[in-house]
């Protein structure tokens, strides 16, 4: 596919409002920092698989096509190769001319797993390591004055056997097993071009402060030609302007705390606060001006007034205790892997979580796409953001995970919906935590580093068990008997409970950690499958029929909701994911039992009215139907792990 936009000499198609159809089926890729001109490079590229990762650029045999941004393991990519290989190559030819002197042209990658090298017309443009975070490069200087065709080549190296890199749920075995899924190699998020002013806004960060009733703004500016600059900021809700002012740019930065008019009375205050019940967003317009008042750059954004905290044994939202009702979400689709089929499907996942009665999701072992966070912000859904794990403890794993965690935080820190950061899960990457002081120091260091980078949110240092530094103690317990769950966590004597109970055979807290009054969240439980499918599956426990599952689900949720000790819970899981069949929804997002039954069990009453259909279907972008992506890509898998043919129970976690 050749993209023939004459970049730099005419406007690219403008981005349409969030409520309308986007110019790309995955939507505008950076929704909290929007410029009107951009062009998606998603589509058909030349492609090659370099099994051993030994080719040079000139040795690549371009023997097939791929649909970017779907990874080659997925059916939607048109490749669907799930074998083991270390390297893949991409090539795209596009037409562009060098931008005008006052403009630059940026090439963006949403995510490439794992180590990317990018060339433009044979010139090295950028290298990047990390499979879950974005990167960009200014390609202006490698373009020619006149319009011509350019060659973009990307090499992605992703060793399937490397357990020291952050990889999340990507399996190191040939076939997915237990709770691990097919690999994601290479490009899996949007690739796009953006013409920008030479002097421009580079980044912004929003911080809400309810005590002072203000919004903090930290902006970085690329100064360009050294002109004196001012930044105009307008904050508004609907047609009501909350603040409008201009600030002098000093040393390429603006740091301001924008005070809003405080109505004082809670009734009026609540109208402006963000929560899952009322996700009020504040629209922001940022205009960079020169000393003559001419517009140099313009970016639209949004923020919100809300506050997260822990107080004693409760989680606090906007100054009030807030019980958490969350669901664990792996973030995979059967035909597209970690990449959503479309932006409409992303929105639908958020809507379905709310329709089932959940007020939050724990995005598990995946840094989710910004579009998911955008819809969570706009529709009102809390998000735990969790770092994909490495599985070995080495000097390299410590350095790479820390660097990539900070990149993920920097990308997502301004999203109102993110309520907690989770750098570790179940001691993955720190396997000898109880006996290894360096590993405990690593967990403590990342906990405090996260708190340093963002002091406004709770940090769950190591979710599941073996806490050494945390704001919330997360507990993973897959006991299938509601009576045992109720007895285990009925006690109000928390120190004794934390010392006595060992779900999964692991201590909940380690020696040297003094939990005091921490909120306790049952952050993994359930995991019940319905064994009415014509293929092998994996689960923590199972029922033979949907009716039996409905009974088990109601009984389990009734037991958990009765536990005053808990500040919240997170049910496993949102949807079936490949062989792991313990979702409330099937992989295509159709419900196993009616949504209203799920919502009533979760909340004790019917959920708020929604417009979600009873049996939703995954919608696929029309361009993909030629490859028959409507068919299931889940081949029969042998039953492994915690459910044997006899249904034997084990309490190991996700």
Residue 551 lies in a domain: yes
Position 101 scores a pLDDT of 86
Longest dimension (CA), the chain: 78
- Gap between the Cα atoms of 157 and 164, Å rounded: 14
Tell me whether residue 27 is in a domain: no
**What Rg do the C-alpha atoms of the chain give, in angstroms?**
25
527 inside domain = yes
Q: What is the pTM of this model?
A: 0.90
Out of 174, 197, 220, pick the residue that ends a domain: 197
For the chain, the distance separating the N- and C-terminal CA atoms, rounded to the nearest angstrom, is 41
Residue 10 lies in a domain: no
Q: Are residues 146 and 278 in the same domain?
A: no
Residue 261: CATH number of its domain: 2.60.40.10
229 and 342 inside one domain:
no
Q: Does residue 333 share a domain with residue 295? A: no
Whole-angstrom Cα distance, residue 293 to residue 246? 11
Q: In CATH, what number is assigned to the domain containing residue 464?
A: 3.20.20.80
* Separation of alpha carbons 515 and 482, rounded Å: 26
**234 and 189 share a domain?**
no
Asked if 226 and 106 sit in the same domain, the reply is no
> Last residue of a domain, which of 197, 227, 251?
197
What pLDDT score was predicted for residue 608?
Answer: 43
Nearest-angstrom CA–CA distance, 477 and 488: 10
Q: Is the same domain home to 511 and 582?
A: yes
pLDDT at 534: 60
Residue 377 · residue 350 · CB < 8 Å: no
Residue 98's pLDDT is 87
Give the separation between CA 111 and CA 69, rounded to whole angstroms.
Answer: 9
Q: How far apart, in Å, are the Cα atoms of 296 and each of 133, 135, 290, 349?
A: 28, 24, 7, 38
User: Looking at 169, 197, 225, which one is the last position of a domain?
Assistant: 197
Q: Return the DSSP state at 384.
A: E
Same domain as 163, residue 54 = yes
Same-domain check for residues 474 and 536: yes
- Residues 503 and 579 reside in one and the same domain: yes
pLDDT at position 646 is 27
**88, 186 in Cβ contact below 8 A?**
yes
Spans of the chain, pLDDT less than 50: 1-22, 606-652
Q: What is the pLDDT of residue 491?
A: 73
**CATH code of 179's domain:** 2.60.120.260
- What the block records as the tokens of 323 is 């019980």
- Predicted confidence at residue 609, as pLDDT, reads 39
The residue range of the domain holding 233 is 211-303
Instruction: Please tell me what DSSP assigns to residue 413.
Output: T
DSSP class per residue in 504-524:
GG--SB-TT----S--EEEEE
Locate 180 and state its tokens. 């691990």
360-363 and 382-386 strand pairing: parallel
Both 294 and 330 in one domain: the answer is no
pLDDT of residue 505: 87
C-alpha span between 51 and 47 (Å, rounded): 13
Q: Are residues 607 and 479 in the same domain?
A: yes
User: Residue 332 domain-assigned?
Assistant: yes
Specify if 395 maps to a domain: no
Tokens at residue 312, please?
């004693």
3-state helix, strand, coil in the chain (%, to 5): 20, 30, 50
In this predicted structure, what is the pLDDT of residue 155?
98
Number of domains making up the chain: 3
**Nearest-angstrom CA–CA distance, 390 and 257:** 38
pLDDT of residue 317: 97
- Residue 547 lies inside a defined structural domain of this protein: yes
Strand partners of residue 94: 3, 150
What pLDDT sits at residue 157? Answer: 98
DSSP 136-165: EEE-GGGS-SS-EEEEEEEEEE--TT--SS
Q: In terms of domains, do 516 and 620 share one?
A: yes
Written as six digits, the tokens of 93 are 């030819």
The reply to whether 335 falls in a domain is: yes
């Amino acid at each position: 596919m050749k993209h023939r936009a004459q970049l730099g000499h005419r406007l690219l198609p403008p981005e349409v409002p969030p409520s309308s159809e986007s110019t790309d089926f995955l939507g505008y890729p950076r929704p909290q920092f929007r410029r009107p001109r951009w062009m998606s490079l998603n589509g058909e590229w030349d492609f090659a698989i370099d099994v051993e990762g030994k080719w040079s650029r000139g040795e690549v045999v371009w023997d097939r096509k791929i649909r970017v941004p779907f990874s080659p393991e997925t059916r939607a990519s048109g490749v669907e190769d799930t074998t083991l290989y270390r390297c893949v190559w991409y090539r795209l030819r596009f037409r562009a001319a060098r931008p005008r002197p006052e403009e630059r042209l940026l090439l963006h990658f949403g995510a490439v797993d794992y180590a990317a090298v990018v060339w433009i017309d044979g010139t090295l443009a950028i290298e990047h390591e990390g499979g879950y975070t974005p990167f960009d490069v200014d390609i202006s200087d490698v373009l020619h004055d006149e319009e011509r065709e350019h060659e973009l080549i990307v090499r992605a190296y992703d060793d399937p056997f490397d357990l020291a890199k952050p990889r999340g749920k990507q399996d190191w075995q040939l076939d997915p097993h237990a709770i691990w899924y097919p690999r994601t190699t290479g490009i899996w998020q949007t690739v796009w071009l953006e013409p920008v002013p030479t002097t421009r806004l580079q980044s912004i960060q929003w911080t809400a402060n309810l005590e002072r009733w203000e919004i903090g703004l930290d902006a970085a500016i690329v100064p360009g030609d050294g002109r004196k600059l001012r930044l105009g900021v307008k904050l508004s809700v609907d047609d009501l302007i909350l603040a409008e002012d201009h600030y002098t740019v000093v040393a390429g930065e603006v740091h301001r705390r924008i005070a809003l008019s405080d109505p004082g009375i809670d009734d009026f205050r609540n109208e402006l606060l963000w929560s899952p019940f009322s996700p009020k967003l504040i629209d922001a317009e940022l205009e960079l001006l020169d000393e003559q008042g001419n517009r140099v750059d313009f970016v639209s954004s949004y923020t919100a007034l809300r506050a997260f905290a822990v107080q004693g044994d409760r989680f606090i939202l906007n100054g009030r205790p807030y019980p958490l009702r969350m669901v664990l979400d792996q973030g995979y689709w059967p035909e597209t892997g970690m990449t959503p089929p479309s932006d409409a499907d992303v929105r639908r996942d958020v809507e379905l979580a709310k329709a089932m009665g959940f007020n939050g999701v724990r995005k598990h072992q995946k840094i989710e796409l910004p579009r998911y966070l955008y819809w969570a912000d706009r529709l009102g859904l809390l998000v735990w953001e969790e770092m994909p794990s490495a599985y070995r403890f080495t000097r390299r794993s410590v350095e790479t995970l820390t660097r990539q965690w900070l990149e993920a935080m920097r990308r997502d820190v301004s999203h109102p919906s993110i309520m907690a950061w989770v750098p570790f899960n179940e001691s993955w990457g720190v396997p000898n935590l109880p006996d290894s002081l360096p590993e405990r120091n690593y967990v403590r260091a990342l906990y405090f580093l996260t708190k340093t980078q963002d002091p406004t949110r709770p940090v769950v240092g190591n979710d599941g068990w073996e806490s050494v530094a945390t704001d919330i103690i997360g507990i993973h317990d897959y006991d299938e008997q509601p009576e045992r769950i109720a007895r285990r966590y009925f006690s109000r004597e928390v120190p004794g409970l934390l010392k006595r109970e060992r779900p999964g055979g692991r201590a909940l807290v380690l020696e040297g950690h003094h939990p005091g009054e921490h909120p306790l969240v049952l952050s993994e439980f359930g995991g019940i499958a319905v064994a009415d499918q014509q293929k092998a599956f994996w689960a923590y426990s199972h029922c033979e029929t949907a009716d039996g599952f409905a009974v088990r689900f109601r009984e389990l949720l009734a037991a958990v909701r009765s536990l005053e000790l808990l500040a919240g819970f997170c049910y496993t899981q949102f949807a079936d994911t490949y062989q792991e069949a313990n979702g409330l929804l099937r992989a295509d997002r159709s419900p196993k039992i009616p949504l209203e039954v799920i919502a009533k069990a979760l909340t004790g009453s019917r959920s708020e009215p929604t417009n979600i259909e009873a049996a939703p279907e995954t919608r696929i972008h029309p361009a993909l139907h030629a490859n028959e992506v409507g068919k299931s890509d889940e081949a029969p898998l042998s039953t492994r792990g915690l459910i044997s043919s006899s249904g034997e129970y084990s309490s190991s976690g996700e």
